[in-house]
Structure 1
């Protein structure tokens, strides 16, 4: 199960690296063309004004190059941020569309990590209730020995993942909630994988 998830994460990483590299290369080409065009225009202006002052010409060229470099950095930053967002979004989509056995293995690991002592009820959406393995509740309780968890037969209005309900306290283990809670860490991780 971990192997399948590792393969998926490795594929996501490879796809994202390839996409990011292509986007960065395109952004760098655009930035270089912009830099060349701005530099050419600046040189033409400088030649026309040469009689006025060499100091003015150098200043104009330096400002144009600085503006072009700033534009290039801005384009590269926007491209990197877009690649990171795309990578996190692809990871979320891959997780959502896992085969049933891998999906429920992920739910078991989430339950292990988030279960507390005592009696709880796990609430799933209608789709997950319909495809849930027959022995899932037994697997769930074997994986979370600190308490007892019963899977509710009533569907919950969530996209994926689950809610653990301990009396009046809900532990939100939906994928959206987990991605939102770890947004900064996931962006840092995606950035480090894409732009080492």
Structure 2
């Protein structure tokens, strides 16, 4: 009986040892699994945070970029408005010159634009009080001194002209209206106007 008891005791001891080893191994494996899972979770979290941070950074950059573009667009529009206003004011100054100064300006413009001195001049209804027969007579005298025909005369043609004039012959038409001259010179003048307006 004692032998059987000893065997049983040994079996129980072995079982207890086995149980202990199994539990220890299970705990060890569980710890390793938990550590591994923890590391993976931490990595996943870090990756997610990095992606979120990157996405947030990209979104922020995108928003800032759009805002900067909008700001630049508004600035350029405001700048263009000021340049446009400068040209409008220049035209208005020409249109509102004192009659004597206006006639003097037109006198020199006609002399410069005349090809052979045998052209017709088209003027606006508003300018007929400034660009007179007396002015054309003075122009013709000057043209004759230059060896030209000296036969500039009013055209019966009516056109919508806002300051200045149009010289026309049978083959050539020279547009000397203020708005046309300003538009023609605008590309060349715009840089200089911008420099004057925005120079610091």
TM-score range, shorter chain: 0.5 to 0.7
CA distance in 2, matches of 1:109, 1:85: 27
Pick the structure with greater CA Rg: 2
Alignment of 1:5-84 (within 5 A): 53-84=52-83
CA distance in 1, matches of 2:173, 2:133: 24
- Alignment of 1:179 with 2:182, yes or no, is yes
Can you list the C-alpha shifts for 1:42-61, whole angstroms capped at 9, x where unaligned?
xxxxxxx9797433333232
CA distance in 2, matches of 1:153, 1:115: 15
Structure 2 residue aligned with 1:194: 197
TM-score w.r.t. the length of structure 2 is 0.61
TM-score w.r.t. the length of structure 1 is 0.62
Distance 1:185 1:142, change over 3 A: farther
CA distance in 2, matches of 1:99, 1:118: 27
Query: Greater relative contact order (Cα 8 A, min sep 6): structure 1 or 2?
Result: 1
Conserved in 1, the CA contact under 8 Å of 2:167 and 2:175? yes
* Number of positions where the alignment pairs a residue of Structure 1 with one of Structure 2: 148
Distance 1:166 1:155, change over 3 A: closer
CA distance in 1, matches of 2:64, 2:172: 59
CA distance in 1, matches of 2:152, 2:51: 85
Can you list the C-alpha shifts for 1:1-47, whole angstroms capped at 9, x where unaligned?
xxxxxxxxxxxxxxxxxxxxxxxxxxxxxxxxxxxxxxxxxxxxxxx
* Aligned-residue offset at 1:105: 1.6
* Aligned-residue offset at 1:88: 0.9
